[in-house]
Structure 1
Amino acid sequence: MPATATAAVVDRPDGPFRLGPVELDGPRDDEVLVRVEACGICHTDLKVRERLPLPAVLGHEGTGTVLETGAGVTRFARGERVILSYPSCGDCAPCRRAEPFRCEHIPALKFGGARADGTKPVRVDGAPVSSAFFQQSSFATLAVAHERTLVPVRTDHPPELLAALPCGIQTGAGAVLNTFRATGGHPLVVIGVGAVGLSAVMAGRIVGTRPIVAVDVVPSRLELARELGADHAVDARAEDVVARLREALPHGARYVLETSATVAGLETGIACLGQGGAIGIVSAPPPGETFPFTTRTLFERVATLHGICQGSSVPRDFLPRLLALHDQGRFPVDRLVTAYDFADINRAVADMERGVAVKPVLVMPTG
């Protein structure tokens, strides 16, 4: 049956979110209705406003409790706690290889603003709006989510911690642990230490990469990177980054993670690669910007360039691993989280854009 909820709706590419009533479809055979308890905010939620037809209901890092399941859902039951992560089709060759992060349909499933068949599960004033974002649209008190996005939660972790994990933090930690399969004693450079980059720093410390070098333009984030395991912190606005990296790493870096999505960051990352090194990119520069480099550098250094999606992670396996590392005190992701009431979504967005909040998480009202 259809349900009513409160959602954060965005009407303009540069506009604020407004809370208001929406109507949701009941779950289809392969869907689940979730009472959302918390949802992380990611820069993707802001950038996509320029791509999707508006109005839209966004949000792609939800956590909550299952209220209703579709007739074909067998892995989840009413009352079960879940995290909502990224979607995949389940049928393409990468999905059949248990590599959902390489799903052939992932761009459309994430950013299409609709289900795979083009229908939109959320309505505002009776009219369908762009939704099914990451097949969940969890900037709302209720979400209709595809079952493949769900990860069961067997612990009593607070919702604001769970909602921090499913996208950026999974991506940063997964880049180091899954994509690079980093090992101890090798240098790691992280360019951009927001939520993704700081997660990579923590993951590097877990496996013993040394030294770890953090590069950013926000002094408070560089200080936090040091506290979380970085051996060197380079302020890109005040220092010659390449010179500092060459000083710290005379033989270059074995692993470089570029998270800033800037041409300068990509150029710096390539320049500091060591022989046999690997560089990973987790996003692309804005439309219209090009990255002018030749393959000669990669060839001469026998280096590898990785395009990284979701940290090469299988969420049902990797998110419990991150929670276990957190409980052991080895992955203190709570240090990144700032919780906000759902009604304060625009303040949370502003704090993230100003660099005040590393990982803002919206906490939904109870009752």
Structure 2
Amino acid sequence: MKIRAAVLERMGAEPPYARSRPLAIRQVELAPPGPDEVLVKIAAAGLCHSDLSVINGDRPRPMPMALGHEAAGIVEALGPGVRDLSVGDHVVVVFVPSCGHCAPCAEGRPALCEPGAAANGAGTLLSGERRLADEDGRPLNHHLGCSVFAEYATVSRRSLVKVDKAVPLDEAALFGCAVLTGVGAVVNTAKVSAGASTAVIGLGGVGLAAVLGAHAAGARQIVAIDLSDAKLEEALRLGATHVVNAAAADAAEQVKALSDGGVEYAFEFAGAVRALDLAWRITRRGGSTVTAGLPPPGAAFALPAVSLVAEERTLRGSYIGTCVPSRDIPRFMALYRQGRLPVDKLLSGRLALDEINEGFDRLHEGQAVRQVVVF
């Protein structure tokens, strides 16, 4: 079938993207679902820094690629072997498909699925197939098995979670990346307990979702840290107890003064080594520093190794919030419906597919938290 999709031909375009137009809205050919695959009518797709890092070349991917990895939609058709979904079901797309059989999957860590990671790196679905082609028949790569900046997407069944139809699809889309990653880092990776002290560095959609998660977990202190005063104000509205501008020369000292020497849990979502260094410096003795930011592959972080032992410090990575999506998305949505996880407050704008380059300008300039393309 012929659909409209946002296609990235090459990485490294210079902003403003409204002028350089890295994403071309094209008519492409989408093949029907093969075995264990599903055709989804996309209702809403979120603009995320992970998409931006492909556009600017920080996260290299095979080109050309149909972009987009955070979305929700409606099941349109089922491939052979799919028996646990029905046409008309509402689903959230997850950007790492889990095979269910490799060592990480068997250990209950589907975010680390080895075949899923290999397929994502190759630009294919979990099956190894590509279901997209341009008008000349040239194959297009899939972005993280999703490619959801499009009217429809053919994806692996292992990339989908069925969700409650009561949740609006433009809000449900955020659960596939921002909420899984941010809330999951708090409740799964760090296991923040009620009464703990926390700090969140980098207040994009994922970082602000972590603020929501820390508030829902009952943290007594949530210090929000960013370069943008507007985002600091937003963090206060979402449950942060204190804010610190990261540009301040004494930012670390401010956090330590607020938290009696450092927080128990510091979370870094900026994807920058300087932000991770700040997170490490504001973590107290015996505390945990958790990073879910994705810096360029060549970035390196140096730390005083003795403090790992002498201060019993912990440094942990968190990918997709250490989540089991089929378990955690329904749980997080239940909290949302109870008013305990107001994910709808992360939405800062809705736009048409033709406006996507302008949307990435706003994201690049820090003027938006989570925008969604609606279809």
Q: Where on the TM-score scale, by shorter chain, does this alignment land: which range?
A: over 0.9
Query: Following the alignment from structure 1 to structure 2, what is the Cα–Cα distance between the partners of residues 340 and 156?
Result: 22
Residue 190 of structure 1 aligns to a residue whose secondary structure is strand
CA–CA distance in 1 between the matches of 2:208 and 2:123?
30
Deviation at 1:195, TM superposition (A): 0.9
Separation of aligned partners in 2, 1:129 and 1:29? 19
- Whole-angstrom CA distance in 1 between matches of 2:2 and 2:184: 36
SS of match in other structure, 1:29? coil
CA distance in 2: counterparts of 1:184 and 1:91, whole angstroms:
35
Give 1:53's aligned residue.
62
Name the aligned partner's letter for residue 345 of structure 1.
Answer: I
Structure 2 distance, partners of 1:284, 1:165, is 19
Contact 1:56 1:129 in 2 (8 A): no
* Kept after mapping to 1: 8 A contact 2:65/2:142: no
Q: What secondary structure, in the 3-state scheme, does the structure 2 residue paired with 1:67 have?
A: strand
Match of 2:364 among 353, 357, 363: 353
User: Deviation at 1:329?
Assistant: 1.6
Structure 1 vs Structure 2 CA RMSD? 1.6
Match of 1:100 among 110, 120, 130: 110
Contact 1:54/1:129 (<8 A) preserved? no
Q: Name the counterpart of 2:50.
A: 44
Q: 2:23 aligns with which of 17, 26, 37?
A: 17
1:325 aligns with 2:335: yes
Q: Report what 2:256 is aligned to.
A: 246
Contact 2:7 2:25 in 1 (8 A): yes
- The offset of 1:34, in angstroms, is 0.7
Match of 2:41 in 1: 35
Does the Cα contact within 8 Å between 1:270 and 1:297 map onto a contact in 2?
no
Counterpart secondary structure, 1:233 = strand
Cα-to-partner distance string for 1:217-269 (whole Å, 9 max, x where unaligned)? 01110001111111110011235111101111123211111111212111111
**Residue pairs, 1:187-266, within 5 angstroms:** 187-266=197-276
Identity among equivalent pairs (%): 36
Maintained 8 Å contact 1:120/1:128: no
2:16 — aligned with what?
Answer: none
- Looking at structure 1, the residues matched to 216 and 184 of structure 2 have their Cα atoms a distance apart, in angstroms, of 12
SS of the residue corresponding to residue 164 of structure 1 reads helix
- Taking the aligned partners of 1:285 and 1:82, their CA distance within structure 2 comes to 30
What is the Cα deviation at residue 110 of structure 1?
2.7
Please list the CA deviations of residues 57-116 of structure 1 after superposition, one character each: whole Å capped at 9, or x if unmatched. Answer: 011112111111111111111121111112122220121233201212343233321234
Q: Hey, what's the Cα distance between the residues in 2 that align with 1:81 and 1:292?
A: 44
> What residue ranges of structure 2 are gaps of 5+ in the alignment?
14-20
> Which digits, 9 at most, give the CA deviation of each residue in 1:205-228, with x for residues without a partner?
112112110110011100011111
Larger deviation, residues 115-124 vs 249-258 = 115-124
The answer as to whether partners of 1:114 and 1:130 remain within 8 angstroms in 2 is no
The answer to whether structure 1 residue 362 and structure 2 residue 373 are counterparts is: yes
**Change beyond 3 A, Cα 1:283–1:109:** farther
Of 99-108 and 265-274, deviating more is: 99-108
Q: 2:127·2:156 contact (CA, 8 Å) conserved in 1? A: no
TM-score for the superposition, normalised by structure 1: 0.94
Aligned in 2, Cα 1:229/1:239: closer, same or farther, shift over 3 Å? farther
Structure 1 counterpart of 2:315: 305
Query: CA distance change for structure 1 residues 281 and 72 in 2, over 3 Å: closer, same or farther?
Result: same
Listed one character per residue, the Cα deviations across residues 285-306 of structure 1 (whole Å, up to 9, x for unaligned) are: 3244321223222222212111
CA distance in 2, matches of 1:341, 1:358: 17
CA distance in 1, matches of 2:246, 2:33: 48
The reply on whether 1:149 has 2:163 as its aligned counterpart is no
